[in-house]
Structure 1
Amino acid sequence: MFSGDWNFLSILRVLLDIAIVWYVLYKLLMLIRGTKAIQLLKGIFVVIFIYLLSVFLDLVTVRRIIYQVIMWGPLGIIILFQPELRRALEQLGRGSFFSRNTTSEEQEISQSIEAIVESCEYMAKRRIGALITIERETAMGDYISTGIPINGKLTNQLLTNIFVPNTPLHDGAVIIDKDQIVAAACYLPLSESPFISKELGTRHRAALGISEVTDAMTIVVSEETGSISCTKNGELHRDITSEKLAELLDQELIGKLKSSATKGWNWMVKRNE
């Protein structure tokens, strides 16, 4: 009886240990997603693979060099990635590493929605073509790297100014993350769906294409008609009003945020009952 209880407790302890490690790793990956730290992570895996290969093939010189890299690598990482490490420690100190401040995040998203809607309404009236992608859970680092870094506070004026015709950044897509314009003039994958209307241009195909491979929402302002369209999850909502656009953005961005926060709260309540 005692042995069985002990085995059960041992298994439970091991599972808890694994769950905590995986959760911390998940939060770290969410923290560095879309940053240059992701490239570092890929590099670390390459170095480890080369080291294992050198051990297997008995490549003495390569093994010694890689060993020195592994020994001094952590010091180099601390020096090169001070901002990311500082941000992680600040979040840990604020208690936001394991939980999100949904109130402040909701305010940021609300302000972003207002700026986007106002900008789209202005451009639609003047038939200024625009392609605006809003990053969500799926990281868009690969698409951001194809454009010009902006990393500026999202405002109606800045967003509109980017798409003014005959300016260097007006071609391509703007990628937004929360309340930041991350990059402009980005290239998005074109949808190859045979069901797309032939009257739709490149912007609409790009908007549908990115919605098919990520969970991002993309807004298109037509240069020819001034109509506003929105894509999500491979769906195209055409010729919508600015009010309908605000409703869609509120439903998808703020609605999902509240839903995830409610689920987290309910889980905590059940856990403490």
Structure 2
Amino acid sequence: MEFLDFSFLKMTVIDVVDILLVAIIIYYIYNLIRGTIAVNIFIGFILIYVLYFVASKMLHMKLLSGILNSFVSVGLIALIIVFQQEFRRFLLSIGKNISLRNKLWMKLVFGKEEVEKNNLAKIKPIIDACKSMKQTRTGALIVFSKYFDQDVFGNTGEFVDARISKRLIESIFQKHSPIHDGAVVIAENRIKTAGCILPLTENDKLPPQFGLRHRAGIGITETSECTALIVSEETGEISYAQQGKVKMNISFTELERLLNKDF
């Protein structure tokens, strides 16, 4: 009786690491494109590759194979062009994970209580302003960025460069302010600009009650390493957007936790 040869199944430690790394990359890519229009584009790419394989390898259709081969040969470049936002978000998410590890080291070196105490002093005016705007149902959009990107935020809105203040935030978003419809950008622990016009998200699966303010807040987090805080003008509900995803109707305790983590 002959035994089957399973030698090809032998795996080394490098093989296991290889599989794990590929699985992690696939998981990150799935999270980035899940629920977005990029899913439909990705499915379209897969269908074209399947059609190319069937036409060239199985049915030997020379004309169709030649046309599809021209597309497949530049497939990688086309993927980078079409999914440039998703690639950007993928790289930003990796960098953000590294930044989070650096924050953990800071807490170990300087003490968790001291770091969180300093953060609370920075975010308290923002939380207090949100409490007031929630009660009065004043619409607001606040973007938080580690660094001020002149190309992203400097072309629209009014340059402020002021200390973070509850009264200043409230005055910017009060209904008679000429810049209340735009976004406030907080970077480097200062209010940098106000009245900024942000790119809207292309996600077509958002709740119908989301207006331009919510879509702009989600859109900026899809294309840059920012987070966005949105106060609904209709309901006073507070939402928090990050990496193209949004948490709705969050409490002030949850808001403090999110801001403390981002600061």
Please give the TM-score of this superposition, normalised by the length of structure 2: 0.54
Q: Residue 251 of structure 1: CA displacement?
A: 2.2
Answer whether contact 2:147 2:188 (CA < 8 A) is retained: no
Measured in 2, the distance between the counterparts of 1:142 and 1:133 equals 12
| Structure 2 counterpart of 1:213 | 223
The reply to whether residue 225 of structure 1 matches residue 225 of structure 2 is no
| Structure 1 counterpart of 2:133 | 123
Measured in 2, the distance between the counterparts of 1:138 and 1:154 equals 15
Answer whether contact 2:148 2:192 (CA < 8 A) is retained: no
| 1:133 alignment partner, one of 119, 137, 143 | 143
Task: Note the residue ranges of structure 1 that are not aligned, 5 or more in a row.
Answer: 1-99, 254-273
| Structure 2 counterpart of 1:200 | 210
The reply to whether residue 155 of structure 1 matches residue 165 of structure 2 is yes
- For residues 203-240 of structure 1, the C-alpha deviation after alignment (integer angstroms, 9 at most, x for no partner) is 10001000101111100000000000000111100011
1:107 and 1:145, CA in 2 relative to 1: closer, same or farther beyond 3 A? Answer: farther
- Report the AA paired with residue 122 of structure 1: S
Answer whether contact 2:231 2:238 (CA < 8 A) is retained: yes
Task: Note the residue ranges of structure 2 that are not aligned, 5 or more in a row.
Answer: 1-105
- For residues 51-70 of structure 1, the C-alpha deviation after alignment (integer angstroms, 9 at most, x for no partner) is xxxxxxxxxxxxxxxxxxxx
- Report the AA paired with residue 259 of structure 2: L
The reply to whether residue 238 of structure 1 matches residue 248 of structure 2 is yes
Paired positions, count = 154
Q: Determine helix, strand or coil for the equivalent of 1:125.
A: helix
Q: Determine helix, strand or coil for the equivalent of 1:145.
A: coil
| Structure 2 counterpart of 1:23 | none
> Cα RMSD (Å) of the superposition?
2.4
- For residues 168-188 of structure 1, the C-alpha deviation after alignment (integer angstroms, 9 at most, x for no partner) is 121100000132110100011
- For residues 158-205 of structure 1, the C-alpha deviation after alignment (integer angstroms, 9 at most, x for no partner) is 111110001112110000013211010001100010111111111100
Answer whether contact 1:138 1:216 (CA < 8 A) is retained: no
In the TM superposition, what are the counterparts of 1:85-104 in structure 2 within 5 Å? Answer: none
Answer whether contact 2:173 2:180 (CA < 8 A) is retained: yes
